[in-house]
Amino acid sequence: MTQLKIGFPRTLFYFLYYPFWYTFFHELDCELITSQPTTQHSLNLGVAETVNDACLPIKLYHGHVAELKDQVDIMFMPRMVKVRKMETEVFCPKFLGLPDMVRNSISGLPRIIDEKIDLSKGRKPLWHTCKKIAKKIDKSGVGVWLAYKKAQRCQDKFHKYLALGMGAQEAIDVAVSGRNFQEPKKYETDINLAILGYPYLIYDSFVNVGMFERLSQMGIKPWTVEMVPSDRLEAQAKYLPKSLFWHFSNRTMRATYYYLHEQRVDGIIHVTAFGCGPDAMVDKLMELDAKNTGKMPFLTLSLDEQTGEAGIYTRIEAFVDMLRYRRGHHENIISHHG
């Protein structure tokens, strides 16, 4: 019997939830197929397929779906609503309506599974959702429960690897392969930078024009939202007078407070998508808090389909030069007065 081929676009949710869904479908004897890493072709397809005022991540998602649609029997496109026990915190409205946007923009699609993911009442709703998804591919019985439990264990490993400082793609690869964990390489660095933003911008090497590779070449240690231990991330809520509505916005703000108060870094870079409404507010909040808490140097990098490497690298290099100058100037002052 031929394995059912299920498509999972390599963008948006991929960078945080792929280990769970890969394991779940694999254990149900299905083949989960991802699109290739983002390229200019992916972006061009997305720009052609979606509405003009869509943000960059949504355009990219359409491009990945268009690349993948003829290779699979089913497209898995969960409707992400809530993943935390907070009634007021949801995903961006464009995420909620993503399956409908794709259906109305791209022709020739295979069958879509777009089951709603709402975990605001705890973890059991995810089990019930998994049962519904399994039923749609004619799977039932104890095998579904075992697949669900194994998927949870794989996802937990993935989060552990991220918190230990492993890059997102490497953490995904190690978690799903079952390879033995190896400590991430140690950085010989004089500069630690918090690179904060939504995972589908931060971890997509095409979108961020190879930012992490460039930072590594410059001897800089990057720190991200996902490297903050979950209990410490939650603890930062006390600094926000009121939680934000959007899931990723809350995570980004809490990570900002963590790096300002608990694990000091030399500077913060906020990576944002041009035209993202929630991010416009988040960016201003981050900038104000960085300024008011220890005068932390802060840089905003806004990305869109026109973003080029040269402009991004020039700004990062200038920012790092300023940080090194500040540090050297400060050390000279201490030495002089000592």
pLDDT at 86: 65
pLDDT at 74: 95
pLDDT(87) > 90: no
Across the range 273-299, mean pLDDT stands at 83
pLDDT at 335: 41
What the chain holds in terms of domains, given with CATH numbers, is 4-177 (3.40.50.11890), 191-337 (3.40.50.11900)
Distance CA 133, CA 193 (A): 40
pLDDT at 256: 94
Rounded to 10 degrees, the C-alpha dihedral 50/53/57/61 comes to -10
pLDDT(149) > 80: yes
User: Which residue's structure tokens are 């299905």?
Assistant: 30
Is the four-CA dihedral 104, 109, 111, 112 of positive or negative sign?
negative
Per residue in 26-49, pLDDT (tens digit) is: 999 999 999 999 999 998 898 888
pLDDT(187) > 70: no
Residue 244, CA atoms < 13 Å, CB-side half-sphere: 22
pLDDT at 332: 43
| Percent of the chain whose pLDDT exceeds 70 | 91
pLDDT at 185: 61
DSSP characters over 93-147: HHHHTHHHHHHHH-SS--EEE--EEE-TT-SHHHHHHHHHHHHHTT--SHHHHHH
Across the range 204-208, mean pLDDT stands at 87
Question: Which amino acid is present at 59?
Answer: K
Per residue in 238-282, pLDDT (tens digit) is: 888 877 888 888 999 999 999 999 888 899 999 988 767 777 788
Who contacts 55 (Cβ-Cβ below 8 Å, separation ≥6)?
94, 273, 274, 275, 276
User: In terms of C-beta density within 10 A (0-12 exposed, 13-18 middle, 19 or more buried), how is residue 314 classed?
Assistant: exposed
Check if the beta carbon of residue 272 is closer than 8 Å to that of residue 279: yes
Helix and strand numbers, DSSP H then E, in the chain = 14, 10
Q: Which residues of 262-271 are buried (b: 16+ CB within 10 A; e: fewer)?
A: eeebbbbbbb
Average predicted confidence (pLDDT) for the chain = 86
Across the range 1-11, mean pLDDT stands at 89
pLDDT band at 142 (very low <50, low <70, confident <90, very high): very high
CA 31 to chain centre: 23
pLDDT at 314: 87
pLDDT(150) > 80: yes
CA 226 to chain centre: 8
pLDDT(334) > 50: no
User: Which residue's structure tokens are 């949870």?
Assistant: 152
Helix (H) or strand (E) holding 260: helix 247-261
Check if the beta carbon of residue 71 is closer than 8 Å to that of residue 64: no
Is the four-CA dihedral 17, 19, 25, 28 of positive or negative sign?
negative
Is the four-CA dihedral 36, 199, 156, 185 of positive or negative sign?
positive
pLDDT(72) > 60: yes
